[in-house]
Amino acid sequence: MRLGNSIFQKLALVFSLVLFLTSNSVSLASITPKQAEESAATASQDSPPSDVGLSAAAMENFKQQITILNEEKKNLTPAQKKINSAIVRTLHSVVLKDKQSGLPMLENSIKLTESNTITVDIKADVTDVLLDFIRAQGGTIINSFPQYNAIRAQIPITAVETIAAQSGVRFIDRAQEYILHKSTTTEGDVAHSAPIVRTAGYTGTSVKIGVISDSVDYLAQLQATGDLPATVTVLQDAPGNTGEGTAMLEIVYDLAPAASLYFATAWGGMANFANNIIALKDAGCKVIVDDVGYFAESSFQDDVISQAVTTVTDAGVFYFSSAANDGNLHSNTSGTYEGNYNDDGSANHWHMFSGTNTYNTITVDPGVITLQWSDPLGASANDYDLYLLDSAGNVYNTSTNTQDGTQDPYEQINTSANLTGYKLAIQLWSGEARFLHLSASRGVLTYSTNGATKGHSTVDKAFGVAAVSASGRTTAFTGTEAVETFSSDGPRRIFFNPDGSAITPGDFLASGGRVRQKPDITAADCVATSWPGHTRFCGTSAAAPHAAAIAGLLVSFKPTITSTEMFRALTSTALPLPSTWTDYSGLGIIMANKAYDSLIPGNGLGCQPSMLLLLQ
């Protein structure tokens, strides 16, 4: 959707949105494999990154290990180039044992079953022939979606190269991983002044609200105690997980007790998540809310989940999603780095984060670490690699997938170790300079920026929801409350339309693409629920269902409410007034009673006359 055609972007002008985007002043590089070879003649061969935090011995150690890894990548077969680099390394060094890595500290992050099988996500042209071939290799199909070119399967790791060699297969990745955006009668009910709307007679009657999370393991238990209604329609569950979906349903029920509740899981991969978004819409849900993010969701283009959100919002559904809990620059908790690639001029073409520093030190331990850059999905021809090293210069983990025109612009490092004090380095293996997005999820980086929120919560017509604590609250929010320090900030710069075409052809750096002012709104978290084992439900996971329930109340008052009217009602009345967008709180804390009042004929929006003209 172009900026001029976006309802939310037009409304953003009305409320004087402020654009925040941190980017470095850099010297840009355009590097082909041939140019890389030529530069090696004048640069120190296999030069390691420079940083005062590493000794000369550590730098030499890293230099030797990078040489080994670079040779490994140069010698990949055509089939291996279509496989996640960690899977290939595990196959040959752990299972087949036909390769010595020479890297004493390199972690094996691929988890094998006792029978040496792995769960993978396969991007491919999905046909019965390919599915039968995977089964013939000893694989089990978990799910497949031809419309998304996606297969999730459990396969013997020894069959991965044979499967990758099939002509219809584009890439075999480790199973895409998810994260719940939690950080635990809800106090948010009073905090948002929702009882005032219910007293007026609007309780969610005739409104279907769909919740997407991991599972509803404690559904029967909360129904027995009266914390959930006797009927909750479950389209698909994933039993044996945290049951966080139960807590989200409880929040919705507390605020909108007459609404009909639906649930579907986000588990099973990104394609299954997208499929369940559509399924909830098809079931008649007018409001949908989720608290799940996949690490592989694109920062720079609407992927399958985002496209599903666009489909349902275009059909009139109001979609609410957690902004995530990856910190924000305002609170000095950012684990995000965004900026243009800045070549250090060495043979290895390390990225300089600041000045001459080509390392980014981790100061607070993260979870999964990811790197993305401004190339289209399934068509990345610029090859970046990501390295994690310790203070002795040992490569502890790495992601060196091949990008040669048919893969996603994505690298991911998984580790269970405490990484405080470890360093991250980015290498341009071949190609041109691009805008980078590095995320140390829920950690903190020395060189950090804003721009943590990404993926489907940043879709134009979706509501990305930040969090503000309502713990122990017995009175309404006033607008003086601080956003949670872990709540993810924006904005979100995108470079590609859903079909992969460039928004600004030829400009894929900080000056290109277009900006979405996300998150949109802030709502309550850290509220009491009956979710077993969680006395407090904290995180944007709790904030999003509060916002969705308030939307349900507004729909029960005005069943014909449009997307424009919903956005206007929630944001024009958000606290503090007047509403001004910030990259960490959106347009402020939404209030049920004020949003309701704004919809009553004759009450208006509380806007200046000049603003009303812009809204017409």
In contact, 295 and 368? CB cutoff 8 Å:
yes
Neighbours of 206 (CB within 10 A): 11
**CA separation (Å) from 502 to 496, 499, 518?**
5, 9, 21
Closest CA to 233 of 163, 282, 294: 282
104 in any annotated domain: yes
Mean pLDDT of 383-402: 95
- pLDDT tens per residue across span 449-495: 999 999 999 999 999 999 999 999 999 999 999 999 999 999 999 99
The helix or strand, by DSSP H or E, that contains position 339, with its residue range, turns out to be strand 336-340
Query: SS3 of 173, please?
Result: strand
Quick one: pLDDT at residue 184? 38
In which region does residue 397 sit, left (phi positive, over 0), alpha (psi from -120 to 50) or beta (all else)?
Answer: beta
Our CA dihedral for 325, 330, 333, 335, rounded to 10 degrees, sits at: 70
pLDDT of 88 over the 90 cut: yes
Choose the final residue of a domain: 137, 160, 177.
177
The answer to whether 236 touches 283, Cβ cutoff 8 Å, is: no
For the chain, what is the domain count?
2
Among 114, 142, 177, identify where a domain stops: 177
Query: In this structure, are 204 and 170 located in the same domain?
Result: no
pLDDT band at 597 (very low <50, low <70, confident <90, very high): very high
Residues 105 and 196 in one domain: no
- Domain of 481, CATH number, reads 3.40.50.200
Burial 225-248 (b: 16+ CB within 10 A, else e): eebbeeebeebbbbeebbbbbbbb
User: Pick the residue with more confidence: 461 or 3?
Assistant: 461
Question: Are residues 160 and 273 both part of a single domain?
Answer: no
Of 177, 206, 239, which marks where a domain is finished? 177
Q: Residue 604 has what pLDDT?
A: 55
Give the DSSP letter of residue 153.
Answer: E
* pLDDT value for 346: 93
pLDDT at site 151: 95
Q: How does strand 336-340 pair with strand 232-236?
A: unpaired
Angle at 390 (CA atoms; ends 385, 391), nearest 5 degrees: 125
In this prediction the pTM is 0.86
One domain, residues 198 and 262: yes
Range of the domain at 107: 84-177
Do 222 and 91 share a structural domain? Answer: no
Q: What are phi and psi of 21, to 5 degrees?
A: -150, 120
3-state SS, one letter per residue, for 238-298: CCCCCCHHHHHHHHHHHHCCCCEEEEEECCCCHHHHHHHHHHHHHCCCCEEEECEEECCCC
